[in-house]
Chain A
């Protein structure tokens, strides 16, 4: 076991009921239970959360930054997906 680094975990905290869990950082722990316990000490010392998720970092999958354009640019010219694209009379007030 000498010089064997504990695995890295990503920590997600729900700040209060009704909000989604949000990524706050990472930490090392031997297993999920210890990761939750450590997350409590490292990331919630001042009532920052009511719920903790941890996931071992190696299980996070992400797109390549180089795919940025291919993935996200097609949305740029689709302004008709936004409400302001539609011109309506002012009398209509709230729509």
Chain B
């Protein structure tokens, strides 16, 4: 009897058996994952930039150590994800090349500027909040190394959101009217881009069905977006802030909040490279890579010297 590898593969997925690096997998599964995991890794790395902007200007030491630790976590998350992606057969340098050449995408949210301190609060609360909503189901994604990386990421991510919300809470409940206005302004600017982080509507998301069948994704973009909105509205009320959506209303029949139309034109413009900071972000990454070249070379030279010295000692002994 002839065994169809693709059927065996799908059966494993249906039985909730994880796929591991050396198992047979359809080429399209490998490519889809490679694209998703590497984009995810790039997002963590580029995601350090908007917040890095405020480390030297954090209002006090407590805020500064927290922000530093958060940005360091993001570097770590990028590294977990790059190594998960490498198990699918693409080298780290190839992935970085794709980022630096603009071929690979990263989350569009990081192409918006961070113009006030309240943006650190809004990012932690909304951007990390949306990321958590996306990432928690990925802890059960069908590819083993990706799922394991996401478990680590999710464990660390919850502090990110809490520290952001605490910043907002301080501005709104203990701040001056100007500080509260600054928090409202940050919410106004970050709300819609955060909502867009879940990606296009389900009927405009052509690869979603296959990803769901392969259990790479467990929930659709629209399901996650609705869940995020339902959870976040009461959090905004607690802060005494107004979500910038005049159509936002509790729908008793649906048991969910209704919300207004999303400006997808803006989303596609930012994805296409025309957001406020696309060029700046990419340039920062390319510069960091190029300026770090001598460090990478020096590290190799030093390791070689150390190895020579050690083998010299062995010969002498």
Chain A interface residues (CB < 8 Å from chain B): 1-6, 8, 24-28, 30-31, 33-34, 41-42, 45-46, 62, 64-65
Contact call A65/B149, Cβ cutoff below 8 A? no
* A5-B93 CB under 8 A given contacts A26-B83, A45-B73: yes
Q: Can you show 22 pairs from A to B with CB atoms below 8 A apart?
A: A1-B296, A1-B297, A1-B300, A2-B293, A3-B93, A4-B300, A6-B296, A25-B84, A25-B148, A25-B149, A26-B83, A27-B83, A28-B92, A30-B299, A30-B300, A30-B302, A42-B76, A45-B72, A45-B76, A45-B156, A46-B156, A65-B20
In the assembled complex, the Cα of A42 lies from the Cα of B74 at a distance in Å of 10
The yes or no answer to B58 lying at the interface (CB within 8 A) is: no
In the assembled complex, the Cα of A45 lies from the Cα of B68 at a distance in Å of 13
Most buried by B among A3, A31, A41: A31
In the assembled complex, the Cα of A66 lies from the Cα of B148 at a distance in Å of 23
Contact call A5/B91, Cβ cutoff below 8 A? yes
Contact call A8/B86, Cβ cutoff below 8 A? yes
A51 nearest CB across to chain B (Å) = 18
B132 nearest CB across to chain A (Å) = 17
- Chain B residues in 8 Å Cβ range of A30: 299-300, 302-303
- Chain B residues in 8 Å Cβ range of A31: 303, 306-307
* A42-B299 CB under 8 A given contacts A3-B93, A5-B92, A33-B306: no
- Chain B residues in 8 Å Cβ range of A33: 306
In the assembled complex, the Cα of A34 lies from the Cα of B304 at a distance in Å of 12
B189 nearest CB across to chain A (Å) = 31
The yes or no answer to B66 lying at the interface (CB within 8 A) is: no
A45 nearest CB across to chain B (Å) = 7
- Chain B residues in 8 Å Cβ range of A45: 69, 72-73, 76, 156
B34 nearest CB across to chain A (Å) = 16
- Chain A residues in 8 Å Cβ range of B72: 45
List B residues 221-274 near A (Cβ within 8 Å): none
List B residues 68-86 near A (Cβ within 8 Å): 69, 72-73, 76, 79-80, 83-84, 86
Most buried by A among B24, B79, B300: B79
B160 nearest CB across to chain A (Å) = 13
In the assembled complex, the Cα of A28 lies from the Cα of B86 at a distance in Å of 11
In the assembled complex, the Cα of A72 lies from the Cα of B24 at a distance in Å of 18
B37 nearest CB across to chain A (Å) = 13
- Chain A residues in 8 Å Cβ range of B65: none
Which residue on chain A has the smallest CB distance to residue B149?
A25
- Chain A residues in 8 Å Cβ range of B84: 25
- Chain B residues in 8 Å Cβ range of A8: 83, 86
A71 nearest CB across to chain B (Å) = 14
Name the one of B79, B92, B296, B307 contacting A42, with C-beta atoms under 8 angstroms: B79
- Chain B residues in 8 Å Cβ range of A65: 20, 22-24
Name the one of A2, A26, A41 contacting B86, with C-beta atoms under 8 angstroms: A26
A72 nearest CB across to chain B (Å) = 14
Which residue on chain B has the smallest CB distance to residue A8?
B86
